[in-house]
Amino acid sequence: MSETNRGDNTPSVQPRGTGMAIPAAIIVGFALIAISIYLSGGKEVANTNVNQNEQVENKGDIANITPVNENDHIRGNPNAPLVIVEYSDFDCPFCKTFHTTMQQIMDEYGPTGEVAWVYRHLPLTSLHPSAAHIAEASECVAELGGSEAFWKFADMVFGERGVNDLTNIALLPEFAVSAGVSETDYKACMDSARNRPLIEEDVANAISIGARGTPHSIVIAGDQMMVINGAQPYDQVKLLVDGLLR
């Protein structure tokens, strides 16, 4: 797997619909979006979270996505008409950029309840050795402090480092406390490794839907699903969101 930026000329939005009757305006909107947003390629590398000896291939199906549920990290209205499910790596430079983009999207569409943002894990440990550890730390914060604490922690992790820098993991306990959890409880949770299976579940699901790198996002609008592959800029994501909502 690889970090995914923008670059080649393959359309990054891949619509999938289960209904036959789709309004013409939506079809036109999807066509415009497909023209506007492009998929970045990238060299695939082994994902050490799955199997140290296997190359991960992009043979998944978007239909395999785990339905959003109460166990997910959801920012915004859980019943929003448009949901963006992001598979991300806390140490990925493109994920940091896309995190800022999604913060802007939520600032605009979150207060009206139109868009929800779901964060799932896809740590690329072959590129970022500490990524799985940071993901596990975020799950401990979520377990101890709830959804609000998780998002505060995630914002601090991405906000603390430069785009091309790795997270200073020595700061994670400090971030956990700032997010509102006990440092003692946080360290006990980390020592237990009890949330590690949650990371593994997200990684397995990401592979099953065909994620090649990070960030990899699935947009869900009713019975329609499409892929945003890579760190698309704010104006392109806004174009997609407006096209689906309006």
Where are the domains positioned within the chain? 2-245
Between CA 246 and CA 234 the distance in angstroms is 17
Q: Are 158 and 124 in contact (CB under 8 A)?
A: no
Cβ contact 93:164 at 8 Å: yes
d(CA 187, CA 225): 39
Distance CA 220, CA 235 (A): 19
pTM, 2 dp: 0.80
- Measured distance CA(186)–CA(121) in Å, rounded: 19
pLDDT at 25: 36
Model pLDDT, residue 5: 65
Amino acid at 119: Y
**What CA dihedral angle connects 26, 32, 33 and 38, to 10 degrees?**
150
Pairing of strands 115-121, 73-76: antiparallel
The three-class DSSP label of residue 6 is: coil
Report CA torsion sign: 42, 58, 125, 150.
positive
Would you say 150 and 73 are in contact if contact means Cβ atoms under 8 Å apart? yes
Cα–Cα nearest to 92, from 54, 130, 62:
130
Two tokens at 123? 């740590």
CATH architecture assigned to 2-245: 3-Layer(aba) Sandwich (3.40)
Q: Which residues make Cβ contacts (< 8 Å) with residue 194, sequence separation at least 6?
A: none
Task: Give the C-alpha separation, 199 to 155, whole Å.
Answer: 18
Give pLDDT tens digits along the chain (246 positions). 667 664 333 334 343 333 323 333 333 343 333 323 323 322 222 232 333 223 345 578 999 999 999 999 999 999 999 999 999 999 999 999 999 999 999 999 999 999 999 999 999 999 999 999 999 999 999 999 999 999 999 999 999 999 999 999 999 999 999 999 999 999 999 999 999 999 999 999 999 999 989 999 999 999 999 999 899 999 999 999 999 998
